[in-house]
Amino acid sequence: MADDTKLVAEPRDKFGKGAARKIRALGKVPAVIYGHGTEPQHVTLPAHELGLILRKANAVLELDISGKTQLALVKDVQKDPVRQILEHIDLIIVRKGEKVIIDVPVHVEGESFPGTLVALDANTLSVEAEATNIPERLIVNVEGLEEGQHVYAKDVPLPQGTTLLTDPDTLVVNITLPAKVDLGEAAAEEAAEAAAAEGAEAAEEGAEAAAEEAAE
């Protein structure tokens, strides 16, 4: 485990919104640790250090809880929707050598053939990996790929010890061409519509004039 994932977790025995606000005011985040048939553990974690770790997907924390070390996988993070302040975090107990199922983000690298567009159809792929060796992201290289070429889940390179669980035939990346817009045709349609509108207006005015003459 990397040193930057080590945190001191302080046990807590006060709950509710009021207690949570006081915890956050002290620069900490309330958290709950579940798993492996144990009773949920309620702790607080340092907000700043935790925020840095959470920049990476599927982070595994090495917690010091009253002098005992516990590995825990980040399961759910709750943030204030406006201020983006960490409000609460759920953690799942994991052990070295244990395998877990997680969704890993897909990251596109490289430049496709000039004039083409890269469409990312699958933002994440589900995999099984060792809890202490979860890939931060899966890389898809599109360098030089031409229009009509595809990258499927089965084509995405996986780190050693990682197994793909997503359907292998799932489309991940699609190389396309920009939609063509025929400006000349569009202009012709607009001119035809304008002429039709003018013709209808002239016919209406003519009918009104004929009606007025007949009335006189």
101-176: CATH number: 2.170.120.20
pLDDT of 13: 87
Q: What confidence tier does 208 reach under pLDDT thresholds 50, 70, 90?
A: low
Question: Mind listing the pLDDT tens digit for each residue in 57-70?
Answer: 899 999 999 999 99
What percent of the chain is modeled with pLDDT above 90?
68
Mean pLDDT of 138-154: 96
The mean pLDDT value for 192-213 works out to 61
Measured CA to CA, the distance from residue 102 to residue 125 in angstroms comes to: 8
Q: What is the pLDDT averaged over residues 171-187? A: 79
Whether pLDDT at 83 is above 70: yes
* Both structure tokens of 169: 């035939």
pLDDT at 187: 63
Interval 31-56 mean pLDDT: 93
Neighbour count for residue 96 (Cβ, 10 Å): 10
What is the C-alpha separation between 212 and 145, in angstroms, rounded?
71
Residue with tokens 């304008």: 194
Evaluate whether the domain defined by 3-95 bears CATH number 3.40.50.1000.
Answer: no
